């Protein structure tokens, strides 16, 4: 099957699904109060865009702030943990445990301390994004083949040359994988914080639309966030593949 | 041995830092660890919190329902898409794209549809648990060496025997890993749902304690739930190790 056929089948499936959905609501199989017609969602997409875009910008800004912090801290910690076996042995169980604890448990406390504004959402984003990044980078750094470094050193490479020519290309894929997952987690952290304790942003908006039973607007807003994150992730994967070729 | 000593020292150090940092601060907002035992006793004896066992039981039932549904749906879709190559090529990328969406955006829609009761929590736990399971089944099937299947079939093995003796051992460790992450995510889904809005369940108790500024009780609850989640995942890890040994 060629790529075009696959793509065609995917498109046809989505269209058929939307048509079936539209039909089901029209003949009364689903209650439009809870499951709006796709045509109504499309209409809401047009009318609510002006309402949604500033909130989306607000959410994206918080995500990037928290994500930036998590990347700085996470990549540093990951490189340290991955390159020092003793430290790895002592600290890793704690990192794994912290990764496993549901972050949502501390959200009430963060909101209590930092209030309902930007700091809570940014900290929540950083907290959600940090641990997957640390784990991925640490695993990638540990897996760098030591013989590669030994060979480079015995051939007289300087420390910085080893770092640039051997370590960087070897660690890069896991760092990028960590960064990609971290970005989704950061967005998740912001949305969750906004839903729990926010008065702005997409998470708050989604929650309020649900409370007000505005199903078409809710589905439209959900679709906008979904499309945004799928687009970002797919383009990061594209970049990843190109870098793969560079290596 | 020395590693264990170091680990204990790290834990102790963290507790000391927490204690020293929390002491001079506002005791309503910052709870020092030395105050936790008293809060635990208060929680168990005084009736200032909703009855804990009842809510804990409800949350456990929600998690069990969500996880069982996630396993059923994940295995079914995984084998359907993995064994029928054409379907897999068409729909696996769509699944992967859905997985790239931060799951919590779905929650308001689920809440609208299922209401504030347990159903919306089960649905969200199901949604979160489903993805790692279905993706791990797909990845597991890709790991089955086609040559082994061909050989087994040519030697007259029935489909059932091929599945049990060839495919399952080859995909077991990947699949069990997915089942384990699925359980962790089902728990997270139920907890998130309860904390975002519920009238019962352990997340509701957390919100209740925090809403009344009973921070000591809140911290005790968080520590206990975190420990329970880690214990559950630890049991999953043991099971995973056993399956890996079985699969070789």
Residues 72-101 of A with CB under 8 A from B: 89-91, 93-94, 97, 100-101
Q: Which positions in chain A touch B104 (Cβ < 8 Å)?
A: 188, 191-192, 195, 203
- Give B210→chain A minimum CA distance, Å: 7
Q: Which positions in chain B touch A97 (Cβ < 8 Å)?
A: 230
Do A182 and A70 form a contact (C-beta atoms < 8 A)?
Answer: yes
Selection from B16, B81, B18, B48 nearest residue B205 by Cα:
B48
Scanning every residue of chain A, which has its alpha carbon at the shortest distance from the alpha carbon of B99? A230
DSSP output for A130-146: HHHHHHHHHHHHHTS-H
Q: Cβ–Cβ of A10/B90 closer than 8 Å?
A: yes
Rounded Cα distance between A83 and A72, Å, is 17
Scanning every residue of chain B, which has its alpha carbon at the shortest distance from the alpha carbon of A198? B196
Instruction: Supply the pLDDT for residue A105.
Output: 92
Scanning every residue of chain A, which has its alpha carbon at the shortest distance from the alpha carbon of B14? A94
What is the percent of chain B where pLDDT is above 90? 41
Q: Which tokens hold the place of A94?
A: 């704690």
Tell me how far the alpha carbon of residue A238 is from its chain's centroid: 16
Rounded Cα distance between B237 and B239, Å, is 5
Instruction: Quote ipTM for the complex.
Output: 0.89
Do A176 and A243 form a contact (C-beta atoms < 8 A)?
Answer: yes
Q: Cβ–Cβ of A108/B206 closer than 8 Å?
A: yes
Please, which pLDDT band fits residue A171 given cuts at 50, 70 and 90? confident
CA angle, B239 as apex, B238 and B242 as ends, to 5°? 90
What is the per-residue pLDDT across B152-198, written as a single tens digit (0 to 9) for each?
Answer: 888 888 888 888 888 888 888 889 999 999 999 999 999 999 999 88
What is the percent of chain A where pLDDT is above 90? 43
Whether the model clears a pTM of 0.80, i.e. scores above it, the answer is: yes
Question: For residues A147 and B114, which has the higher predicted lDDT (pLDDT)?
Answer: B114
| A228-231, long-range: CB < 8 A, 24+ apart | A228/A56, A228/A60, A229/A184, A229/A187, A229/B100, A229/B101, A229/B102, A230/B97, A230/B100, A230/B101
Residues 112-141 of A with CB under 8 A from B: 112-113
What is the per-residue pLDDT across B17-26, written as a single tens digit (0 to 9) for each?
Answer: 988 888 888 8
- Between A41-50, A160-169, B117-126, B181-190, the lowest mean confidence (pLDDT) is in A160-169
Instruction: Supply the pLDDT for residue B152.
Output: 87
**Residue A172 clears pLDDT 90, i.e. is over it:** no
Q: Which positions in chain B touch A210 (Cβ < 8 Å)?
A: 108-109, 111-112
Task: Round the average pLDDT of chain A to a whole number and report it.
Answer: 88
Q: Which positions in chain B touch A219 (Cβ < 8 Å)?
A: 109
Rounded Cα distance between B163 and A98, Å, is 38
Q: Which are the contacts of A128, defined by CB distance < 8 A and separation ≥ 6?
A: A66, A70, A103, A185, A186, A188, A189, A192
Of the candidates A10, A100, A225, which has its C-beta nearest B105's C-beta?
A225
Q: Which tokens hold the place of A113?
A: 């301390």
Instruction: Supply the pLDDT for residue A197.
Output: 85
Within an 8 Å CB–CB cutoff, is residue B105 touching chain A? yes
What is the per-residue pLDDT across A194-219, written as a single tens digit (0 to 9) for each?
Answer: 999 878 889 999 999 998 888 899 99
Within an 8 Å CB–CB cutoff, is residue B135 touching chain A? no
Do B102 and B164 form a contact (C-beta atoms < 8 A)?
Answer: no
Instruction: Supply the pLDDT for residue A125.
Output: 95
Residue B62's SS3 state is helix
- Give A10→chain B minimum CA distance, Å: 6
DSSP output for B71-133: HHHHHHHHHHHHHSHHHHHHHHHHHHHHHTS-GGGGHHHHHHHH-SSHHHHHHHHHHHHHHHH
Scanning every residue of chain B, which has its alpha carbon at the shortest distance from the alpha carbon of A85? B3
Average pLDDT over residues B185-214: 89
Instruction: Supply the pLDDT for residue B48.
Output: 66
Helices (H) and strands (E) in chain B, counts: 11, 0
Please, which pLDDT band fits residue B232 given cuts at 50, 70 and 90? very high
Rounded Cα distance between A146 and A190, Å, is 39
Tell me how far the alpha carbon of residue A130 is from its chain's centroid: 11
Within an 8 Å CB–CB cutoff, is residue A13 touching chain B? yes
Within an 8 Å CB–CB cutoff, is residue B57 touching chain A? no
Element (H, E) at B194: helix B168-196
Element (H, E) at B153: helix B146-154
Cα separations (Å) of B28 from A148, B208, B224? Answer: 55, 15, 20
Instruction: Supply the pLDDT for residue A145.
Output: 75
Instruction: Supply the pLDDT for residue B194.
Output: 93
Q: Which of A14, A109, A217 to mutate to test the interface with B (most CBs of B within 10 A)?
A: A109
Element (H, E) at A35: none
Q: Cβ–Cβ of A230/B97 closer than 8 Å?
A: yes
Instruction: Supply the pLDDT for residue B38.
Output: 83
**Residue A133 clears pLDDT 90, i.e. is over it:** yes
Instruction: Supply the pLDDT for residue A246.
Output: 67
Backbone angles phi, psi at A152, to 5 degrees: -60, -40
**Residue A1 clears pLDDT 80, i.e. is over it:** no
């Amino acid at each position: 099957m060629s790529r075009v056929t696959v793509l065609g089948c995917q498109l046809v499936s989505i269209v058929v699904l939307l048509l079936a959905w539209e039909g089901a609501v029209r003949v009364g199989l689903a209650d439009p109060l809870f499951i709006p017609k796709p045509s109504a969602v499309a209409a809401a997409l047009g009318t609510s865009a002006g309402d949604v875009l500033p909130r989306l910008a607000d959410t994206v800004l918080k995500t990037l702030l928290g994500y930036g912090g998590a990347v700085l801290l996470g990549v540093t910690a990951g490189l340290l943990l991955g390159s020092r076996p003793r430290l790895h042995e002592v600290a890793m169980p704690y990192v794994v445990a912290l990764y496993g604890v549901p972050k949502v448990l501390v959200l009430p406390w963060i909101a209590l301390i930092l209030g309902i504004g930007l700091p809570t959402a940014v900290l929540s984003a950083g907290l959600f994004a940090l641990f997957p990044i640390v784990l991925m980078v640490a695993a990638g750094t540990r897996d760098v083949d030591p013989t590669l470094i030994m060979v480079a050193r015995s051939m007289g490479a300087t420390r910085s040359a080893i770092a640039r020519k051997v370590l960087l290309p070897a660690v890069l894929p896991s760092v990028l994988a960590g960064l990609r997952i971290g970005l989704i987690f950061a967005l998740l952290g912001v949305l969750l914080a906004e839903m729990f304790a926010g008065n702005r942003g997409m998470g708050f908006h989604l929650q309020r639309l649900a409370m007000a039973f505005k199903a078409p607007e809710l589905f439209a807003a959900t679709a906008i966030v979904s499309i945004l994150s799928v687009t970002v992730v797919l383009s990061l994967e594209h970049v990843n593949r190109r870098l793969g070729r560079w290596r | 041995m020395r590693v264990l000593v170091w680990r204990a020292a790290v834990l102790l150090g963290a507790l000391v830092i927490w204690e020293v940092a929390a002491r001079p601060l506002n005791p309503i907002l910052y709870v020092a660890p030395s105050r936790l035992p008293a809060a635990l006793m208060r929680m168990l004896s005084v009736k200032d919190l909703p009855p804990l066992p009842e809510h804990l039981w409800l949350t456990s039932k929600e998690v069990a329902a969500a996880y069982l549904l996630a396993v059923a749906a994940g295995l079914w879709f995984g084998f359907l898409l993995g064994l029928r190559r054409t379907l897999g090529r068409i729909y696996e990328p769509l699944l992967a794209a859905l997985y790239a969406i931060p799951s919590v955006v779905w929650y308001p829609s689920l809440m609208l549809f299922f209401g504030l009761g347990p159903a919306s929590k089960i649905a969200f736990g199901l949604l979160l648990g489903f993805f790692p399971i279905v993706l791990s089944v797909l990845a597991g099937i890709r790991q089955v060496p086609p040559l082994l299947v061909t050989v087994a079939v040519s030697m007259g093995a029935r489909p059932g025997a091929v599945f049990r003796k060839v495919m399952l051992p080859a995909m077991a460790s990947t699949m069990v890993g997915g089942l384990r992450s699925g359980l962790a995510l089902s728990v997270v889904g139920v907890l998130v749902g309860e904390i975002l809005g519920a009238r019962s369940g352990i997340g509701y108790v957390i919100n209740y304690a925090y809403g009344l500024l009973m921070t000591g009780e809140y911290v005790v609850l968080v520590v206990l739930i975190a420990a329970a989640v880690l214990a559950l995942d630890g049991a999953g890890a043991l099971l995973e190790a056993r399956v890996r040994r079985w699969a070789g």
